[in-house]
Amino acid sequence: MLANIWYVRASVSGRRSSHARATSASAAPFCLGMFVLLASCLTHGAAARDAHKDEVDTEHLFGFTIGSDIGEKGEKEFESETLSRTGKNGGSYAAFFEQLEAKYTLAQSFRIAAAAVLARHDISNVPDLEDRRSTAFQGLSLDARFRLLDRERSPVGLTVSVEPHWSRIDGISGERVQNYGGTVTLALDKELVARRIYAAVNVLYEPETTHFLETDIWERQSTIGVSGALVARVRSGVFLGGEIVYRRLYDGLGFDGFLGRALFAGPTFYAKLSEHWWASMAWNIQVTGRAADQPGALDLVNFERHKILLRFGCNW
């Protein structure tokens, strides 16, 4: 699926500074075309869905923002997640990540998952980055989720996700590294209109330590972020919506020095294809940002201009 796109969800490592004029490699026509194609294909057979399709799992309903659902006890799930990040400070930049993940809900309030990631980097004439065309195994991650409030029995759903990871390929440059880090996410969601309109809010913290093997340099950084999303059911099993994502990157694990910030916004799409299969898509565009000691209205040093996320999954 999407043969030329590889890679997993990788932590964003921003570090370098550039005095070059910030420009973006716009992927807008490609992104829009992908959205229209996926939406038309997946909604084509929606009329054939049965009553089971109206059951909603909010985990991937909101795009990059996650929902609080973790599945029923004993439920198993296999998921493919494809992330593309394009647009830097100049030149041509594209990074693709493909993650394959297996999940198992051990108890009604606890789920565990393990994932492996492939990375693809195509970099040419980008300031402070070496030209690179490479594909490699990037790393492994675990994800433990604890559901504190079940949205079916409480006013809101509330889940904590703890996701440690190990990487051997840097997410931005594609260099060989030894990277250790994790993401702690607080996910809250609510059904605003029964079976029709849902909202979610995420708060996250991402610390990481990276050893660059070629230069023997150690780097410690941390990211904090918040996001919000709203979706509405347009037909049985099909949801359209939008989200806003804000990220701030710091030097050091304890927010020692500001490195950059970015605000993203974009549409989301989710379709339940059958009783067991589903698909989702999200497109985030950086609308404003700032890198430390850099001019311009965007941070294309630490973040990218466009992010596209595609997911396909099967649960049983």
What CATH number has the domain bearing residue 77? 2.40.160.40
Q: Does residue 34 sit within a domain?
A: yes
Domain membership of residue 141 (yes or no) is: yes
Q: Which domain holds residue 119?
A: 28-315
Q: Is residue 13's pLDDT more than 80?
A: no
Residue pair 265/245 in contact by the 8 Å Cβ criterion? yes
- Is residue 275 a part of any domain in this protein? yes
For residue 16, being part of any structural domain is answered with no
Q: What is the pLDDT of residues 43-57, one digit of tens each?
A: 544 444 444 446 799
Yes or no: say if 237 and 267 are a contact pair by the CB < 8 Å rule: no
Q: Tokens 């550039």 belong to which residue?
A: 18
Count of domains for the chain: 1
Residue 11 inside a domain? The answer is no
Tell me the pLDDT tens digit for each residue of 154-198: 999 999 999 999 999 999 999 999 999 999 999 999 999 999 999
Say if residue 200's pLDDT is above 90. yes
Average pLDDT taken over every residue of the chain? 88
* pTM for the predicted model, two decimal places: 0.84
The sign one gets for the Cα dihedral 17, 22, 25, 29 is positive
Nearest to 64 by CA among 313, 310, 316: 310
For 125-139, give one letter per residue: b (16+ CB within 10 A) or e.
ebbbbeeeeebeebb
Residue 15 lies in a domain: no
Residue 23 located in a structural domain: no
Cα distance between residue 85 and residue 293, in whole Å: 23
Which residues touch 119 (CB under 8 Å, ≥6 apart)?
6, 7, 8, 10, 95, 96, 97, 135, 136, 137, 138, 169, 171, 174
> Quick check: 140 pLDDT over 80?
yes
Model confidence over 280-299: pLDDT tens digits?
999 999 999 999 988 889 99
Using a pLDDT cut of 90, give the percent of the chain over it: 80
Residue 300 placed within a domain = yes
Residue 197: predicted pLDDT: 98
Confidence of residue 137 (pLDDT cuts 50, 70, 90): very high
- pLDDT band of residue 209 (cuts 50, 70, 90) is very high
3-state secondary structure of 58: coil
Cβ within 8 Å of residue 33, ≥6 positions away: none
Assigned token pair, 103: 């999940």
pLDDT at 130: 95
